[in-house]
Amino acid sequence: AQSVTQLDSHVSVSEGTPVLLRCNYSSSYSPSLFWYVQHPNKGLQLLLKYTSAATLVKGINGFEAEFKKSETSFHLTKPSAHMSDAAEYFCVVSEGGNNDMRFGAGTRLTVKP
Amino acid sequence: GAVVSQHPSWVICKSGTSVKIECRSLDFQATTMFWYRQFPKQSLMLMATSNEGSKATYEQGVEKDKFLINHASLTLSTLTVTSAHPEDSSFYICSARDSGILAGWGYNEQFFGPGTRLTVL
């Protein structure tokens, strides 16, 4: 069965500095991988997804992630953090025809002025 | 893009009562919908997979008699929390998988609703 591990429960950066949110996955098949963002008391917003096409995936709001099969990683990055990026981020893996999604524990991103 | 709505967005009820939460796909058909539960400051846990016209598939540890799921049409799934208790208080989120083909993301993407916050007193 598929699973994801988000390596940091909390990441704090200063505004204007780079963001790195780490995610490792486990999957028996070729997985689809996603990053979602959740602002307080809000639903989920898809940032980007990987589905066996280009390994470097660009998403919304300047985020991107690189699929590295050899490292079973799918880390999320952004060159310059903005205050509005402060939120909870979830790495998600999906495999197989059933398409059920397994969520990581989440990483809370704090952006300091 | 595809939109999924949930109703109500929040609900407060007394212990022992039942609460129904609706999940609708507004601009696409969804043969499959998913129900998730999220406790405060925790991740989403899949509760069940709802298939239109058939019985839902529940994840291990989820009481099917307590969390009743009905997926009677291609655009609507409902979750009923029966005889709710304070420990059922949580954020419930649904998602819907597009049965057709969308340009760009592809047919197998799930779209998430905004969630329903349930508080049981």
A67-107 confidence digits (pLDDT tens): 999 999 999 999 999 999 999 999 999 876 556 788 999 99
**Chain A residue numbers touching B43 (CB-CB < 8 A):** 90, 103-106
Does A31 touch chain B if contact means CB atoms closer than 8 Å? no
- Cα gap A57→A36, rounded to integer Å: 14
The per-residue pLDDT for A96 is 62
- Tell me chain A's radius of gyration from C-alpha atoms: 13
The per-residue pLDDT for A99 is 62
Picking from A23, A37, A42, A103 by the largest number of B CB atoms within 10 A of its own CB, the best residue to mutate is A103
Phi, psi (degrees; rounded to nearest 5) at B86: -55, -30
Section B115-119 average pLDDT = 95
Does A99 touch chain B if contact means CB atoms closer than 8 Å? yes
Nearest to B19 by CA among B95, B114, B73, B83: B83
Query: Looking at the partner chain, which of A41, A43, A99 has a beta carbon nearest the beta carbon of B113?
Result: A43
Q: pLDDT band for A1, please (50, 70, 90 cuts).
A: confident
The distance of Cα A13 from the centroid of its chain, to the nearest Å, equals 16
The per-residue pLDDT for B105 is 45
| CB contact residues (below 8 A), chain B span 62-121, against chain A | 93, 95, 97, 105-106, 108-110, 112-115, 117
Contact A18, A78 (CB under 8 A): yes
Q: E strands, chain A, where?
A: 3-6, 10-14, 19-21, 23-26, 32-38, 44-50, 56-58, 64-68, 73-78, 87-94, 101-103, 107-112
Q: Which two tokens stand for residue B117?
A: 């916050």
Residue B59 scores a pLDDT above 70: yes
Tens of pLDDT, residues A26-45: 987 778 899 999 988 778 88
Q: pLDDT band for B87, please (50, 70, 90 cuts).
A: very high
Interchain contact, A42 vs B114, CB within 8 Å: yes
Enumerate residues 6+ apart whose C-beta is below 8 A from A113: A14, A15, A83
What chain A holds in terms of domains, given with CATH numbers, is: 3-112 (2.60.40.10)
